[in-house]
Amino acid sequence: MAKASENLDSFRSEARSWLETNFPRSLVGRASEYMVVEGEVRIEGDALAWRQALASKGWGTPTWPREYGGGGLSQLEARVLQEEMSSVGAFNPIPLLAGMGVTMVGPTILEYGTEDQKQRHLPGIASGEIRWCLGYSEPNAGSDLASLQTRAEDKGDYWEINGQKVWTSGADISDWCGALVRTDSKVAKRDGISFVMLTMKQPGVRTRPIRLISGASPFCETYFDNARAEKTDLLGKLNDGWTVGKRLLQHERASQTGGNPAAGGRAESLQDMAKRYVGADEAGRLSDPDLRIRIANHLMSAKAHNLTLARIAAEARGKASVTAAASILKNSATNVAQTRSELTLEIMGHQGVGWEGEEFTGQEKETVKTWLFGKAMSIYGGSFEVQNNIISKNILGLPETTQKG
């Protein structure tokens, strides 16, 4: 145990020294600039140099194998790296630049991909140069995803894809798409689905952004009209896409439970923000006792969520099986995030509902948009109700009451 601790201390010193040399101080507090929702992705100057430095070191995807562009770090080393990045205001932009690549597609390729697929696709994700989206939901196949109708027809040396996807996050700015398609319509609906990867830069793919109440939106409608996917880009076995797709969704839900993967820096605490807007009493406590209690309850819920996340991650280490734990964490993360947005809005009062104008700070104008967009957390990645069904059946052992596909 002492040896392991010494190794972590040595790694901490290495990480601290590397960050001191490579992280541009001009980027402190600018992580949000990488959160591209729509439009052209442009990374220049110090931001480009920082992305390239992370990619060269492999620390954009710190736990991925080095041969695929990762850092080859252990989970404990990756945690130390994140701590050291946060301490100097640094952040990891690569998960944001890669779209769905780092958090979902990449881990799934690592598990199900051929060596050729890993060599061709993972380095571009790990460097943040190739952006991915996912073709899952369809107009008539949302929570009942197994009813999907986008089809892939075998054309000998490639798949010809026709159909429509919806809520395809980042489709209009992505380079590649991982899609669930129907490859056999004569069997039970879950048994005729395959997972294919295809380039978005081809004539057979069209996208149309969907506007949201919060303003800018990452969501798109995506149309495949005789689009092409190479035979070498079938991920997993033919007609076993349901298994691959479920595993990817587990990665998605896990990615939604621990906060922003690019997060770094020293954000103002909710309690300090409350004192700044609401005021403090003579004892230095928040002057509104009811708000004080609700903030304390929220902070305890957030702490409990983070501890549960760490416990489940430790229990699952080295196991690749699909479990319902991600559903628990997804709903817990949703509750924590939405409660924080509600409290922030209340703390700021009328300053928290400003949409534009010089009388509002940038943070205040983002607050209402974050609050509105956060409502989608209860829906995307599997709705709150669907997660509760999974928890009730797979963890609590309650009987199946829904129609089986």
- CA distance to 7, 78, 136, 142, per residue, from 145 (Å): 46, 34, 7, 5
Nearest-angstrom CA–CA distance, 77 and 70: 13
Nearest-angstrom CA–CA distance, 144 and 138: 10
252 catalytic residue (yes or no): yes
Nearest-angstrom CA–CA distance, 97 and 270: 28
The amino acid at residue 189 is: K
Interior angle at CA 275, CA 309 and CA 340, nearest 5: 30
Q: To which residue do tokens 């601290």 refer?
A: 16
One of 252, 268, 282, 315 is an active-site residue; which one? 252
The β-bridge partners of 138 are: 141
Nearest-angstrom CA–CA distance, 383 and 54: 34
Which regions of 131-219 does DSSP assign to beta strands (E)? 132-135, 151-154, 158-166, 176-182, 193-199, 205-209
The burial of 41, by beta-carbon neighbours within 10 Å (0-12 exposed, 13-18 middle, 19 or more buried), is given as middle
The continuous run of DSSP H or E covering 388 comes out as helix 384-394
For the chain, the 3-state helix, strand and coil shares in percent, each to the nearest 5, are 50, 15, 35
**Active centre residues (catalytic):** 252
